[in-house]
Each structure stands twice: as C-alpha cells, then as structure tokens.
A and B are shown apart, each in its own frame.
Chain A
Amino acid sequence: MPDTARKNGHDGCALVTGGTRGIGAAIAERLEADGWQVARLSRTSGDVQADVGDAKQVKAAFEEVHERFGPVLVLVNNAGVRHDGLAIRMPEEEWQEVVDTNLTGAFNCTRSALNDMLGARWGRIVNVSSVVAERANAGQANYVAAKAGLLGFTRTVAREMAKRGVTCNAVTPGVIETDMTADLADGLVTAVPAGRVGRPDEVAAAVAFLVSEEAAYVNGATLAVDGALGA
C-alpha cells in the first residue's frame, strides 16, 4: 500500500474504469507500479465487469470490489466510448450511449466511491476528459458534451469534498495512440504543436501525479496532456 493510505490506517484500492485497454490499461499499470492494488473495471473483461452507465451494475461491481479489494480510495473514471457523426444526423441512441458511459458512468462510480473516501478522510478521483471538452470538435457533439460535462462535474465534486481530504481533478488528453483513436490519429497529427501523438503512459504519469500525496492541494483542476493541442 502507498504511504498515504497506510498513514490513514485504511487499506484500500484504486479502481480504474475502462482499465483493460488503451489509456486505462496504462493508468492501471502505473498505479500498480506506484504501489496501489488496482481493480480494473470493464464492460466485458478485467477484474470486475459492469457497464458504468448502468447504476445497478455499478452498485453490484462496487460490492464485489469491496469484498475482493477493500474500499476504493482512488477512482479513475476513464471508461469512454465514441459514436461520431454530425449532430444533424445523430441517432438518439448514439447520443445517449456516449453520454451514459462517459458522463453518467463517472457519476455512478464517483457516488459509490465517495462513501469509501468520506469514511477514510482521504480520496483521489481523476476524471479522464479530453482536449475537445474545452474547444469543439465537429462530428463529436455527444462526446464533446459528455467530456465538457465531466469537467463541470469534476469541479463541483472538488468543492463538495474539499474539506474531507478528497480531491477530484481531470486530465484532458489530446491525440493519444490507442485502439479508440486508431482511425483518426493520422489526420490529426499535423494539428498537434508537439508534432506527434501522445502515449498512454504519458497520460498515466499525469494521473499518477494527481493521485499522489504531493497533489493534495490540487483540487478541481484540469491538467492538459495534449502536446499543446488545446493551448
């Protein structure tokens, strides 16, 4: 266990949603390297299965995590899906699924984890948003709305929990090399001031900082990991 959890006399774990692939897998790996016991939650694989957009499934998954890993002291809301298309022709279900997973999913998991963190008087929540949240991206109305909503959610939870040793921050990755972005990375690279796409472990490093004890006073912040794409 990291010193932070041990000092508080609480054993606990880190839960990473969407933790089996891409950025989530890199975050899970990094937190493990930092000494956390990590539970990877995913819809179909991982240590615990749940569709984060389904409140009942999340509740059951947290019960399972409590039994197998203990209280959740670190939560990384990373699970995300994309269904791109212009708003004018976007089917309602594609809007809904993206908002359910990317935004409501973070709420469902956060609500469950906050009980553990409140009890421990220590907690770290990191929401994986996106560079598009603070700008716009034609063809991603659902995704941008959900990721922007996540930033407002982040700041609000930070304020609500600030007195309890719980922080809630967001990272906004730019173009990161993963399965999810494989179809769009090439065209976007030219727009990235850094001249390259990012790696999942670079996002994981930012998350690891926000989870660390040193980041105790960083709360409600948005940390861009985007090679200056959003600057």
Chain B
Amino acid sequence: MANVPSDQEALDAIREELANIKVPGAEQATADQTWADLDVDSLDLVEVVKALEDRYDVQIADGRLKSIATVGDAAGLVQELTREKEGATA
C-alpha cells in the first residue's frame, strides 16, 4: 500500500495544492480547519479537488465533495480513494 499517503503526506499535499492557488496560510493549514476558515470558496475547492485527482489519479465524485468540510476530511477522502484504487489493482 505504498501509494496510500500517510496522514501527514495527505495533509502536506492539500497544503501544497492550496498554496498553488494562493490561499493565504496554506502552508500552516491544519486538519480541523474548514474551507471557510481558510477563505476557500467553492471554485477554489473545485481547483483543489481537480489537482488532487491528478496527483493521485483518482476520481472524486461530486456527491462526495459535499462530505468534505475540512482539510482533514479531504485528506481522509484522498487516503480512502487511493486505498480503494490500490485494492482494485492489487
């Protein structure tokens, strides 16, 4: 399961993608912060999700977007999807 990111790796990936779209304080973002805390709007989130999809080669369905309210939720979803992908190809 080498391709499933650790908690820290997933968090770092999201911080990086937030920084790429110039979200202030992206590097210090914590798992419990909401998008509203970070001033991330719906279009920002679309960009972050697209970047994470490309980075991990996963698809994040629109239905699941609604369940990610915090940075930690997004990290968890990335881990879950990469785990599913690993399982499917194992």
Contacts and interface: CB of A to CB of B under 8 A. Distances in A.
Nearest to B46: A118
Contact of A160 (B43, B47, B50): B43
A145 interface: no
Nearest to A115: B50
Interface in A140-184: 160-161, 163-164
Chain B residues touching A, majority SS: helix
A162 to B, nearest CB: 10
Interface residues of A, number: 6
Interface residues of B, number: 3
A163 B50 CA distance: 18
Interface in B23-64: 43, 47, 50
A75 to B, nearest CB: 18
Contacts of A164: 43
Contacts of B43: 118, 160-161, 163-164
B57 to A, nearest CB: 17
A99 B47 CA distance: 30
Contacts of B47: 118
Contacts of A160: 43
A164 B44 CA distance: 10
A174 B24 CA distance: 46
Interface of A: 115, 118, 160-161, 163-164
7 contacts: A115-B50, A118-B43, A118-B47, A160-B43, A161-B43, A163-B43, A164-B43
Question: Which 7 A/B pairs are nearest by Cβ-Cβ distance?
Answer: A118-B47, A160-B43, A164-B43, A163-B43, A161-B43, A115-B50, A118-B43
